[in-house]
Copies of this chain bind each other. A is one copy, B any other.
Amino acid sequence: MSTQHWIGVDLGGTKILAGIFDDDFRLLARAKQLTDAESGAEAVFRQIQAAVQDLFRQTNVDPSSVRGMGLGIPGQVDPRIGKVRYAPNLDWKDLELSKVIPPDWKWPVVFENDVRMGTYGEFRHGAASGTRNALGIFVGTGVGGGIIVNGELYSGFNFNAGEIGHIVLHWRRGSTLESIAGRRYQMKRAKKLLDDAPKRVRREWKGIDLKQVKSSQLAEMYQDDDPVAVTLVDDAAKALGAAVGSMVNFLNPEVIVIGGGVATALGDSFLERIWEIAQRYILPGASDGVRCVPAALKDDSGIYGAAAYAKAQGNGKK
C-alpha cells in the first residue's frame, strides 16, 4: 500500500465531490455530499469533513499518510492571504479559510478557484497531459476557464486569470461569452424565445422549470430539433467558436480542453462545430498542431486537479 496519499475536494454550489489518490495518482475512492450553502461556511466544512471521513472509511487509508489536500472553490480566491473574496453560489464574502478548517486536518491544505483546479486536473491527468500550454473552458450554469503556461497553472496578478466567460463578444452591447453560452443566461433567453414560439414548441417546454433545466435535457431537445434548443445551442457554439478562435490567436495554447455539463451532454459534434467556427478567425499557421478536445476526466477533473495541485505545491511547483 502506498505510504503517501493526496485528497482533492471539488466544492460546488450544489454538491461536494471528494477523492483520495495514492502517490501514483490512482483514484482510490470518491465521496459525495450535497452542499448545504444556506447553513453557512462552517456547516459546509463539516460536510467536506464528512466526505473526507467517507474516503478513509472506504479505503482504510491512515489519515497520517495524507500529504496534502487541494480544495477547489467556486469563486474568487486569494491564496496569498488564505481568503475567499467572493463565492456567490455559497454566499461567502471575505471568508478567512483558516477559521473554518477542521482542527483534525493535520495535512497542508491549498485553495484555488474550482475551474482552475479542473483545468489543472485535465492538464496533469486528463486531456491536456503531456502539454506545457493549455486552455480549459468549462461550460455549465456559467462559463469558466483556466490557463496553463509553461507547465504551470497561471493565476494572474489578482488570482483571477482564466475567466474566459467574461471576455466581451459584442463590443457595442457588451455581451460576454457567458451571457451567450452559459446555461443560466440561456434559460433567460429561452423564456423570451418561448413567448414568440408556436404552440407546438411551447407545449414541449411546458412543465420544464427553466431554472432547473439539466444539460442532458437541453441536449436531448437539441437532438430532437426543438427550435428554441437549436437556437440556444447554435448560438453557444458560435460564441464559443469566436472565443476559441480569439484565444488561439491571442494565447496560442497547444491544446484547448472543453468540459462542463453542456459540452459533455452535447458530445463530440458540438466540439467539432466550435472548432470549425474558430477556424474562421484563426490566423494562418496559428493553429498548426493545436488541438481542441473534450475534457477526459468528466466530473472528476476538479478532484484530480485539486489533489495534483496540492502535490505540486508541496513540491514547490505550481
Q: A250 near B158 (CB under 8 angstroms)?
A: no
Taken residue by residue from 145 to 158, chain A's Cβ proximity to chain B (1 for < 8 Å, 0 otherwise) reads as: 10101101011111
Determine the residue in chain B with the shortest Cβ distance to A239. Answer: B171
- Cα–Cα, bound, A249→B254 (Å): 21
Task: Check if A285 is an interface residue, CB within 8 A of chain B.
Answer: yes
A158 engages B238 (CB within 8 Å): no
Q: At the interface, yes or no: A97 with Cβ under 8 Å from chain B?
A: no
B interface footprint on A259-287 (CB within 8 Å = 1, 0 otherwise): 00000000000000000000011011111
A133 to chain B: which residues have CB within 8 Å? 156-157
Separation of A171 and B170 alpha carbons in the complex (Å): 6
A274 to chain B, nearest CB (A): 12
**How many residues of A sit at the interface, in one of the four size bands?**
35 or more
Name which residue of chain B comes closest to A85, CB basis.
Answer: B285
Given A157-B133, A166-B249, A171 contacting B238 (CB threshold 8 A): yes
Nearest-neighbour CB distance to chain B for A237, whole angstroms, equals: 11
Stretch binding the partner chain, chosen from A48-56, A172-180, A301-309: A172-180
Is the pair B176, A281 in contact by a Cβ cutoff of 8 Å? Answer: yes
Q: List 29 A-B contacts (CB under 8 A).
A: A76-B283, A76-B284, A85-B285, A133-B156, A149-B154, A156-B253, A157-B253, A158-B288, A159-B252, A160-B283, A161-B252, A163-B249, A163-B250, A163-B252, A163-B283, A166-B249, A167-B246, A167-B249, A168-B242, A168-B243, A168-B246, A168-B281, A169-B169, A169-B171, A170-B170, A171-B180, A171-B238, A174-B242, A174-B280
